[in-house]
Structure 1
């Protein structure tokens, strides 16, 4: 792995083209698959080159949440009012450097995209899971997967659950069903897919327009001429050098979520053509403290004994704040009346103590500070208030019945996992953009190769990777195909 930018090849250096197509897609994950299918549906000749032996990429490892709203059939069936405007207000509020045109398109097109996804051959269950969880334990079709009900966002947009789960039980493999259906739809539309074949270089004409790619597979190389090239080859979480350069917080101790091919090659290919990047320093990093959700009635403190985040936040928001604390150390403290032990504790249980003084000594926290924090929280929680962090009233319960226990959220102790969020700068139609905002003719990016919703770990919601990857993958495929008409 390296940060080396591939050489861009001149068209006149290519002596033989092994194929000629309208749209060449690099990668068959959720974004590449949707781009290929949509381009083919527009009548384009489409070829997908996939480095792995099977389709799926990192998508195949995902739990299957799609972040969709605006009044989907599942939202309506479960009695949850939503609108494109409220979804837009929320996503704009949590984005780090929001691009309004992209977020507006995503929200306005969300219900139609929901219907398109179901048209692949599955149906989101018309049911709602009301608990705080990383993902629904069963096949429930809808749950809250972000910070919609967390202050200040609940005051900036009317909260609505938007985490639509593919109906596969458990917390992984849900998205694999969608990939399977995309492969089937692609075959029906005449999309050619070549596996174990990776793009190595982009090919440009004398004016800098991208007109094809060079590829390699075991024992063979070649070049494909294409009117449009779509980069959909994943993020860079598996490239240690790129991670160290851009998101060092992922380089320290977390378990990374990705496949071998999340090595940033697609991003580096775009850079070779003059592309700009966005949000390369942003990552999703998390060690969930729930379920069980009852634990969120407790308080999260740093090694100084101070609270620093509302405990009812989405798990990656809490984790992002925890990693900013001195020594990246934090502890969830819960009393005996609210203690439950997780089945799969990612934040390990440390110990239990009969008194706050013993607990402070055990955690290495100044006693006076911890006691003061607990007293203040308990006093206000008893009145259904949290003037410091505005925790939702349903999670406000005093922690005043000893003994007390603590879970360790410290980096290196808790099992943090993460992936990268940055990528190539793109237009609302997936065109790869230069620093001056002009498009690189013929070059597109989708999914983890592009930066779309401008999220960071504090504003991320489960389902936005699959949701925006599939939505903008389709949009990119349509625009890429239009250059051939």
Structure 2
């Protein structure tokens, strides 16, 4: 997006004040990330005349920085060919358990249409590998097409919903690059279909004709103008690079400033959200964030325990990394440590967590970490006794990661924000219907206004329930729905 910063909501422009239109189209899409290109493709497929505006250049979007997981299920070809039995019902049950505040209609639509959406993604010009990666990882290192990318295998979750992997990775090795491939292919499709993407062009305000959004004003390096449109789809990203909005809504993301990074690009300034608010839209879950400083891989690190400054455990260590991180941020003074003994000591592959030290006795470790005398010893005694039986009655860590930590010396990695490296992004956004229509506080829709992606509130509403691939999955899926509905203008 670019342009107005801070928390100020830009005034909408009345149609009467527009002296001339630079363009007249059926649908304007603001943003050329995963949500925007998906909306534009779907709108164009209905026969609409579409124009896309993007403040940056090709593939400067935040989507292009992602690792390339799409959270898909219900029985995709990858799931079937790797021997996993899934259904839309099971997928919806899992998402509802992880995102209880999400509109059930959105979860159900996303799950019901997941197989079709999987095929649509492949129609862009790539193919998910029909292979499964079984190990605990943030992103599988190779090009395996399927892995567990959430909390599906955590015992408290598996008691309710049968564990099924749904993290579909684009066939690009490594932690990044997969999503850029998909967005690039979508941009190529738009070019083939005659849809212009106008780069380095920032939307600045929405145009109102009565209570209907009828276009958008813009600026670029050469000037300004206004575009008349039957509908506007806001797909302009989140607000993780807007310090004032973070201070107001999501201060947890400021905690990573001294040692961490925002998962976003320069144009994640929240202007899309504020433009939606300018015409009566409301925003939900702006205080919810995704934060992570994963201490796995290797998966062996999960054999340790995570404790707070009081020496108490507070999470099952085999949780998805953002769930563990969310619990860290809730602890007293946000202090937390990963404790390992000589038999389990490994170095986290990403090296985000500094090694505090090693100690011959637990008592020495307590003193060095500032933990009350005897507190960590009591935690270890209780944990070790249960782990020797292959149990974890307090937090129910999976048996494969249970082993007594009774073989000194002991070491501690620091998980405390500021000492441990964390990354994060904003989760909240504009309140929309399942088809992306922008909603007022009273539940009525705002004619001509739609939103999708990181500036809309759909399924990815908090970090504890997040799974890798949900943001790209929902951006593309709900982007398509918004584009299709905007083109119909019904």
TM range (shorter): over 0.9
Q: In the alignment, which of 118, 121, 128 is matched to residue 117 of structure 1?
A: 121
Deviations 1:93-120 (A, max 9, x none): 1114120000000000001100110111
SS at 1:471's partner residue?
helix
Task: Say whether 1:280 aligns with 2:286.
Answer: yes
Verify the 8 A CA contact 2:33 2:61 in the aligned structure 1.
yes
The equivalent of 2:183 in structure 1 is 179
The equivalent of 2:170 in structure 1 is 166
**Per-residue deviation at 1:53?**
2.0
SS at 1:390's partner residue?
coil
Task: Say whether 1:28 aligns with 2:36.
Answer: no
**Per-residue deviation at 1:368?**
0.9
The equivalent of 2:132 in structure 1 is 128
What is the distance in 2 between the residues matched to 1:4 and 1:274? 14
What is the distance in 2 between the residues matched to 1:339 and 1:78? 33
**Per-residue deviation at 1:459?**
0.7
The equivalent of 2:262 in structure 1 is 256
**Per-residue deviation at 1:27?**
0.3
What is the distance in 1 between the residues matched to 2:276 and 2:61? 19
Verify the 8 A CA contact 1:335 1:401 in the aligned structure 2.
yes
Q: In the alignment, which of 139, 145, 154 is matched to residue 141 of structure 1?
A: 145
Moved more, 356-365 or 3-12: 356-365
Deviations 1:218-242 (A, max 9, x none): 1211111000100000000000000
Q: Give RMSD over aligned pairs.
A: 1.0
The equivalent of 1:317 in structure 2 is 323
Q: In the alignment, which of 188, 200, 208 is matched to residue 196 of structure 1?
A: 200
The equivalent of 1:247 in structure 2 is 250
Moved more, 251-260 or 107-116: 251-260
Matches within 5 A, 1:343-382: 343-382=349-388
Matches within 5 A, 1:78-477: 78-206=82-210, 208-253=211-256, 254-477=260-483
Deviations 1:141-182 (A, max 9, x none): 111110011132111211111111111011011100001100
**Per-residue deviation at 1:400?**
1.1
Verify the 8 A CA contact 2:246 2:254 in the aligned structure 1.
yes
Segments of 4+ in structure 1 off by > 4 A?
A: none
What is the distance in 2 between the residues matched to 1:312 and 1:252? 24
The equivalent of 1:11 in structure 2 is 15
SS at 1:132's partner residue?
coil
What is the distance in 2 between the residues matched to 1:367 and 1:96? 39
Verify the 8 A CA contact 1:202 1:269 in the aligned structure 2.
yes
What is the distance in 2 between the residues matched to 1:85 and 1:152? 19
Q: TM-score, normalised by structure 1?
A: 0.98
Deviations 1:108-133 (A, max 9, x none): 00011001101111011111111111
Aligned residues: 483
What is the distance in 2 between the residues matched to 1:454 and 1:7? 29
What is the distance in 1 between the residues matched to 2:231 and 2:93? 34
SS at 1:204's partner residue?
strand
Verify the 8 A CA contact 1:56 1:176 in the aligned structure 2.
no
